[in-house]
């Protein structure tokens, strides 16, 4: 393990005196007696910082610190295709990451696939390690927190698909455990050496039903959860063994990063708590309960609160973060199963009001300390490629004008 100079360059969180709640948290960069906020550093200052010597900007987190932001995994591709980002008044945004930080965001998330060239979705699944490293460097240089989302697959990993990467498909369970450890370790080493150390790490994406199931030809291999007839204890044991290897690599390479276990079972709170009960019984090492919440799939805000109440009652001793959420602003997302338009119309104002009401609910639960918008950067305006594929309209920019939507600015009120 490469040794870090923990005291030479340290990022600390501090509370700004005299600021309102929306600006209550400020990132400070400390080097000897030189203490400045991240926004006060010039570009030259930032390039002179030895970011590879910084272990993590989550070194010190005051009680009550909240994390707000979004997944921007597509940003560099949008930029390369000349998407035009504008603020709410129509003024061009030169650098979206910097702008988001100025709007009170402090955490940005990026997904990572093992070999996305094997994915059938080349529009959305292309985030390999080099791409993620470059984007991670930009996030850290902007003084923001970097959340890394390991998919442990060549393509989308979610409740319906946790396919083993093609290059790993022939490995035995024991070999697969070793591979997960080595892959996680090697990815984190590259990120560390490049000055892009993650501050939050998801060891799997929406892994309620386990991960690395096998091949599509053996669709139930390795699946967990009592919803499946094949959810034998051996599958749980296999899943836990894989998780332990991922965690071991994270603790060795990024000892101060916070590890997230990510579930999307909000609409089934008994399944959700059964899942985290099993993790507790197995003594799985992690720091944060991560949830996906999309009202159009998962139900009303009341359903989310029910899940939060039951998680709270279980007293897992972990903070909770909503690591994925979103709401449309023009038309329904394909496959919508819950219609909330009677309360929140599919408009700019309706989307903003949904965010405002969501934040009001979340603030009732002190253990909820994170809120992250998925696909925040979606913006077809000026873009030479059809990256949105027509199905998604729940980003934070108007695809017809490039202007930021009101919900982008509302999110900072979670802090």
Q: What is the pLDDT of residues 15-53, one digit of tens each?
A: 322 223 333 334 444 443 444 444 444 444 544 454 444
Residue 44: the pLDDT is 43
The answer to whether residue 7 scores a pLDDT higher than 50 is: no
pLDDT in tens, 126-168: 999 999 999 999 999 999 999 999 999 999 999 999 999 999 9
d(CA 78, CA 332) in angstroms, rounded, equals: 23
Structure pTM?
A: 0.85
3 state SS for 352-382? HHHHHHHHHHHCCCCCEEEEEECCCCCCCCC
Tokens coding 180? 């997960």
Query: At residue 385, does pLDDT exceed 90?
Result: no
Q: Write out the H or E segment, with its range, that includes residue 107.
A: strand 107-112
Residue 213 contacts residue 222 (beta carbons within 8 Å): yes
The pLDDT tens digits of the residues spanning 387-399 come to 866 668 899 999 9
50: left (phi over 0), alpha (psi -120 to 50) or beta: beta
The distance from CA 59 to its chain's CA centroid, rounded to whole angstroms, is 19
Distance CA 57, CA 139 (A): 12
The pLDDT value given to residue 234 = 85
Question: Is pLDDT of 226 > 70?
Answer: no
* Tokens found for residue 75: 């940003």
- Residue closest to 108 by CA, chosen among 292, 320, 371: 371
b/e sequence 293-328, b meaning 16+ C-beta within 10 Å: bbbbebbebebbbbbbeebeeeebebbbbbbbbbbb
User: Would you place residue 59 in the very low, low, confident or very high pLDDT band (cuts 50, 70, 90)?
Assistant: very low
Q: Which residues contact 171 (CB under 8 A, 6 or more apart)?
A: 179
- pLDDT of 306 higher than 60: yes
Band (pLDDT 50/70/90 cuts) for residue 199 is very high
Beta sheet of 10-15, edge-to-edge order:
10-15, 25-31, 34-37
- DSSP structural state of residue 158: B
| pLDDT of amino acid 18 | 27
């Amino acid at each position: 393990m490469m040794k870090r100079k923990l005291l030479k360059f340290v990022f600390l969180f501090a509370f700004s005196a005299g600021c309102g709640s929306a600006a209550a948290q400020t990132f400070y960069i400390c080097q000897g007696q030189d203490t400045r906020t991240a926004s006060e550093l010039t570009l030259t200052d930032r390039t002179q910082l030895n970011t590879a010597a910084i272990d993590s900007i989550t070194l010190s987190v005051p009680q009550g610190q909240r994390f707000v932001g979004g997944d921007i995994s597509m940003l560099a591709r949008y930029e390369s295709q000349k998407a035009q980002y504008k603020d709410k008044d129509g003024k061009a945004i030169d650098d979206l990451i910097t702008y988001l930080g100025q709007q009170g965001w402090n955490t940005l998330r990026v997904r990572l696939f093992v070999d996305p060239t094997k994915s059938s979705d080349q529009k959305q699944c292309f985030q390999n390690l080099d791409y993620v490293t470059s984007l991670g460097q930009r996030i850290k240089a902007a003084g923001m927190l970097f959340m890394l989302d390991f998919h442990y697959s060549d393509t989308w990993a979610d409740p319906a698909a946790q396919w083993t990467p093609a290059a790993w498909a022939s490995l035995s369970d024991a070999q697969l455990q070793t591979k997960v450890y080595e892959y996680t370790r090697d990815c984190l080493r590259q990120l560390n050496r490049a000055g892009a150390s993650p501050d939050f790490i998801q060891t799997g994406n929406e892994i309620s039903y386990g991960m690395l199931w096998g091949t599509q030809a053996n669709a139930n291999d390795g699946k967990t959860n009592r919803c499946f007839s094949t959810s034998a204890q051996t599958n749980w044991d296999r899943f836990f063994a894989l998780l332990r290897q991922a965690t071991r690599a994270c603790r060795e390479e990024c000892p101060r990063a916070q590890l997230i276990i990510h579930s999307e079972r909000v609409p089934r709170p008994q399944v959700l708590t059964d899942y985290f009960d099993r993790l507790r019984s197995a003594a799985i090492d992690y720091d944060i309960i991560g949830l996906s919440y999309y009202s159009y799939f998962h139900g009303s805000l009341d359903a989310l609160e029910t899940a939060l109440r039951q998680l709270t009652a279980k007293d897992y001793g972990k903070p909770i973060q909503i690591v994925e959420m979103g709401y449309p602003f023009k038309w329904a997302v394909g496959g919508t199963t819950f219609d909330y338009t009677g309360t929140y119309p599919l408009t700019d104002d309706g989307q903003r009001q949904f965010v405002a009401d969501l934040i009001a609910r979340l603030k009732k639960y002190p253990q909820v300390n994170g809120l992250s918008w998925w696909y925040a950067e979606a913006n077809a305006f000026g873009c030479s490629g059809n990256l949105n594929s027509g199905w998604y309209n729940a980003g934070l920019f108007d695809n017809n004008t490039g202007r930021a939507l009101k919900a982008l600015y509302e999110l900072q009120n979670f802090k």
